[in-house]
Structure 1
Amino acid sequence: MEITEQSELDDFSQLTVLIIDDNRLVHDTLKRGLYDLGINHVKCAESAYYGIRLCETTRFHIIICSFNVNSDKDGFHLLEELKFRGHVNKTTVLIFLSTETNESLVNSIVELQPDDFWVKPLAPKTVQQRLIHTLQTKKQLFNMYRATDTKSFSKVIYFADRHLLNESLHKYHPNILRMKGEAYLSLFEFETAESFFKSLLKTYTYAWVYLGYVKSLLKQGRINEINELIEKLINKPATRFGAHDMLAQYYIEHEQYERAYDEIKKATALSPRNIERNKKSWDLARLNHDHEGQYIATRNIAQQAKNSIHDSPELLLNVIRSGIDLAAAITDERSFKVLQQTDKYIKQLQNDYSDANEFKQQLLVIKARLYIVREQKGKATKLIENHVNFIASPQIEDNLDKVKVFHELGMREEAVKMLDIISNQVLGDSLTSQVINKYIEQESIERAEINFSPKQLNDMAIEHFEKNRLQPALKAIQQALRLTPHNIKLTMRLLKILIVIKESNEFDENHQKFGDEALVVLLSAKVKDAGLEAIEQLKIKWQQA
């Protein structure tokens, strides 16, 4: 896309404006305000799809977009696509419209950093006043926006220093200072950024100043110096989301994956539309053996990505796979319900994407995995041996699914070979690559050491326990908990086995440690009524045994 020139923003009669909103009354109100300013080149779209088509034929200086374009995709994903296609950059004037001002929506808007945010209903006079102010800011700081577009962050700092000396630009100083601080961070000049934001804290109380200061220290690994400040930021709506998001990044960088997962879940809940953050939540859920969280994350991704540039059949395949993982990890009747829902997702995939042959191999592997979970291993073996090729796919998730089915069928050699291929596929030094690499490493170790699913191990533990084979029962349940450490029912079963061992002559110091740890987990678990009573009874039995 051709970049806007600064001079083009001076002549209102030459400005081109695109309004994207599914309400024609909003179109009329905005057009009245724009026409009175002398802006006559205005086009309107009632859907995101038509808005994108207009951008393909016309270069717009100003885009005014509703955050909730209900007919196809919301404003968040529309802007993502416009940026991806090159129709929007920092020199474009971007304004969002919404009737809502809830925390989730505001956080999503903050992420996108539009030039302004107008709350509906609108008045033509307000439209004029706000637009004139926004255009003035864009014109006065145009060289900084352009340098940001070209990632020339040293130029951003150069222009900022010049503008800050110009007293006529005093009212734009907060905008200038923010862009300068962001440039320091983009250049990895974290010590300079720290000093810069620290000096601003004496004058300004904007959320971005506090978050910039915290980020500069986190990037230097100095979290202990700002624990109190972080706690304050987490308790304020304006900074809560940003603080959780930065902490998640910090903990990933420092390989504290449980804490990273806790923070990313909070950030995702506060701004649910960002697909990349949802994917990060999914990766961390897998790494932390949270099968429920993995299932929730893949469903969120599929739902939020609908009609966006991220939408693809692979997202629904991932929901199906995580459903099977969850069903194999659950040791109660919920497993049946998850499998029922998984069957519905398979039908949805086949209905939504007519060319099912494209996913033939993936669906065959999924079918085999479903046979295994439903304890029809013979059918799974037959299907894999006769219909599934052992060739690696370009898609990591396809290969991971093959690893699981090979492992579950006792085809250890094939599983290990496929894991080696996946390890070579996950290259790069990004934080996402770091998390996936760790997950693949963990999978390789666990697949080599544990030959069964949590559900199978639980069944084995019950059988051993009933036949008074206490040590094999304990080993089976410990392996199951290694694969699904948050399973309260498995933890209760572990403690029941240990209570019987404690009453026998097989008890030793390790058993005491295992039991005490299990009790701590159970007492901190969020259970109610009958579950709480059962835990209390186990506690008494453990102490009295």
Structure 2
Amino acid sequence: MELTHASELAISHQLNVLIVDENEFVHHLLQSSLLDLNIERVSVCTNAYKAVKLCEKNYFHIVICAFNVKSDKDGFHLLEELKDKGYVDKRTVLIFLSSETSESLVNSIIELQPDDFWSKPLSQGKVTERLRYTLGVKKKLFTIFLAFDKKNYAKAIYFADRLLLDSSLKPYFLNILRLKGEAYLRLREFVEAETFYRSLLKSCQHSWVYTGFVNALLNQNKLDEIKDLLSTLVEKPDTRFATYDLLAQYYIDNKRYELAYEQIKLACELSPRNLERQRKLYELARLNGDFSGQYKASKNMVKFAKNSIHQSPVFELNMIRSCLDYANSMSDAQATSIFSDVEKAIKTMENSADTDDKITQLLWVIKARLCTAQGQEEKALNIVENHFSVRLSADVEDNLDKVKVYQELGLKEEMQDLYDVIAKQSEHDSLNNAAINGYIEQRVEHKTQQFSPRKLNQMAVEYYKKARYMSSAKCLEEAVLLSPKNNKFRISLLKVLIKLKEKDQHETKHLELAEETIEKLRYEQLSENDNEVYLQLKNRWQVNSMEN
């Protein structure tokens, strides 16, 4: 069944309502409020599983859902599933309930676009009043909501313009204008959207007007025109999340990945449940060489995918892969415990009921990577020869993981063949996936580099012991290039560069690199011990420079 005409919302006693809440007192209060509106057909349940089953059998005009439905999945995951399955759309009156009003929860719920958000404890009088108004909005603006559901945004603008001519609808004009602006953005008519929002700003100061205006200008590459406005919006609680999100996408589109990463981190802190945003965080962390940040993002994806429609072993796989990337960006002392975590995670996945032949194949790739990271190249080669599938994966991440094994084992022909496949896959990927495409370009650029940052650091230590300072510096320079967020590598590099100068074995480029390294470390947040070592090395460099 589908709601196709506003008149269906006008017959109160025929409206179907679904209430999802663990608290029976809330059920009774809401049922009493609904009776005040002559709404009698009410279904109640206490968990997400039953809610989905009810939606499979009935069409609900009104859905009232609490966040704290903890018995199977929370209200956020439930609403996400109901929207994905088409049980809830723009024509549905959607109300969200919560006793929690933290900024991160509110931002997450706003992304699901409910018609109203009610904070517990509830008052029967206020519930009746707000539900009457929300139901009125649905009835009066039904044609626009129907056009949105059909993705006919041009028609939505047409209906909005017609409704704005009706003075009796003045109480709903802001709702109409908001939908009209959203339709312009959905159509990617950014010039028209800019004109629309610029005019609206003269008389309306609502947060959605500002964020719509910013969206329109960023998509026209007019960042300089709104720099002052952006500075204001990121300070305001009701606009900062949307502003961070818009800026992140703007910087991704313009391949300014460091700036994009800083913005997406802030957006994820304010609304952590959106998995697509966490995926962007994961990809940008990896692209910027922040393997710790990549690992944290992968863990968040596992956490927030659990019990949702997105739950998949792929998230666990990517967490193990990023854990291994993190270990390979560290020194030996730091990596030992991480390797232990990888081994435990592999065993957990192997023993999982969800592990099929495909997952088993991908775990063999991870095992081979673990062997190369631990210096067991012969064991890794044995895995490649006996357990690697000749079939290529349709997933870029799977192929990227395998190419790392070939690269670390020096299997250049296999590596190049797979890089060619990955390049073709990325060409056909989503336009929004600029971050992963940037990472692939980065990997291709460094494909002649066989060793991980951790291995390069090991080699640098051996060269240093043998007084081969030039070779040691070269290894550390490459390690820093591959793992730019590892300050221990930078400190080690500075130590070797000082030794080169003291032994008078340096070249001009080494002097410049030492100054650059000192300046870079100056702005990093170092541990107390690392900062002490850095200051000692910096002082040693300055004294050495004065003497020469």
| TM-score clears 0.5 | yes
Mean Cα displacement is larger for which, 72-81 or 116-125?
A: 72-81
1:526 equivalent in structure 2: 525
Q: 2:343 is matched with which residue? A: 343
2: CA distance, partners of 1:539 / 1:218: 42
User: Which residue type is aligned with residue 348 of structure 1?
Assistant: T
Q: Which residue pairs with 1:130 in the alignment?
A: 130
* Unaligned runs of at least 5 residues, structure 2: none
Question: In 2, are the aligned partners of 1:147 and 1:156 still within 8 Å (CA)?
Answer: yes
Cα distance in 1 for partners of 2:33, 2:332 equals 62
Matched, 1:224 2:224: yes
SS in structure 1 at match of 2:447:
helix
Q: 1:433 to 1:540 in 2, by over 3 A?
A: same
Q: CA separation in 2, counterparts of 1:273 and 1:13?
A: 37
C-alpha contact (below 8 Å) 2:349/2:355 kept by paired residues: no
Deviations 1:190-243 (A, max 9, x none): 122112111211211111011111111111111011111101111111111001
Tell me the CA shift for residue 70 of structure 1: 1.3
Give the structure 1 partner of residue 328 of structure 2.
Answer: 328
Tell me, yes or no, if structure 1 residue 451 matches structure 2 residue 450: yes
CA–CA distance in structure 2, aligned partners of residues 61 and 352 of structure 1: 40
SS at match of 2:96: strand
Partner of 1:537: 536
Kindly indicate whether the alpha-carbon contact (under 8 Å) linking 1:193 and 1:216 is maintained by their aligned counterparts in 2: yes
Partner Cα distance (1:216, 1:57) in 2: 41
What's the % identity of the aligned pairs? 49
Cα deviations by residue, 1:336-387 (Å, 9 ceiling, x for unpaired): 2222222232233234435444422111111121222222222111122122
**What letter matches 1:82 in structure 2?**
L
Calculate the aligned-residue CA RMSD, in Å: 1.5
Q: Which residue of 2 aligns with 1:172?
A: 172
Q: Where does residue 507 of structure 1 map in the other structure?
A: 506
Could you tell me whether the CA contact under 8 Å between 1:99 and 1:119 is conserved in 2? yes
Moved more, 528-537 or 238-247: 528-537
TM-score by length of 2: 0.96
8 Å Cα contact 2:350-2:360 kept in structure 1: no
| 1:50-75 deviation line (CA, Å, top 9, x unaligned) | 11111111010001011232122222
User: Which AA in structure 2 matches 1:452?
Assistant: F
Over residues 414-458 of structure 1, what are the superposed CA-to-partner deviations in whole Å (9 max), with x where a residue is unaligned? 11111211222223463433222221121122122x110111100
Q: Which TM-score applies when normalising by structure 1?
A: 0.97
Report the counterpart of residue 140 of structure 2 in structure 1.
Answer: 140
Aligned to 2:476: 477
Distance in 1, matches of 2:356 and 2:279, equals 25
- Report the counterpart of residue 43 of structure 1 in structure 2: 43
Q: Name the CA shift for 1:262/1:33 in 2 (closer, same or farther; >3 Å).
A: same
Residue in 2 aligned with 1:365? 365
What is the CA distance between 1:332 and its match in structure 2? 4.5
1:272-421 correspondence runs (5 A): 272-421=272-421
Gaps of 5+ in 1: none
Between 397-406 and 246-255, report the one with greater CA deviation: 397-406
Q: What secondary structure does 1:333 align onto?
A: helix
Task: Choose 100-109 or 26-35, whichever is displaced more.
Answer: 26-35
Q: How far off is 1:262 after superposition?
A: 0.9
Check whether the contact 1:63–1:93 (CA below 8 A) recurs between aligned residues: yes
- What displacement does 1:500 show? 1.2
The answer as to whether partners of 1:287 and 1:435 remain within 8 angstroms in 2 is: yes
Q: Which stretch of the first structure deviates more once superposed, 251-260 or 339-348? A: 339-348
Q: Distance in 2 between matches of 1:3 and 1:353?
A: 41
Residue correspondences, number: 544
For 1:428 and 1:65, how far apart are their aligned partners in 2?
39
Q: CA deviation at 1:125?
A: 2.2
CA distance in 2, matches of 1:352, 1:169: 57
- 2:454 partner letter: K
Letter in 1 for 2:285: A
Q: 1:189 to 1:356 in 2, by over 3 A?
A: closer
Amino acid across the alignment from 1:515: A
- The answer on whether the counterparts of 2:100 and 2:119 sit within 8 Å (CA) in structure 1 is yes
Matches of 1:178 and 1:106, distance apart in 2: 19
Cα distance change on mapping 1:358 and 1:410 into 2, 3 Å? same
* 1: CA distance, partners of 2:408 / 2:502: 35
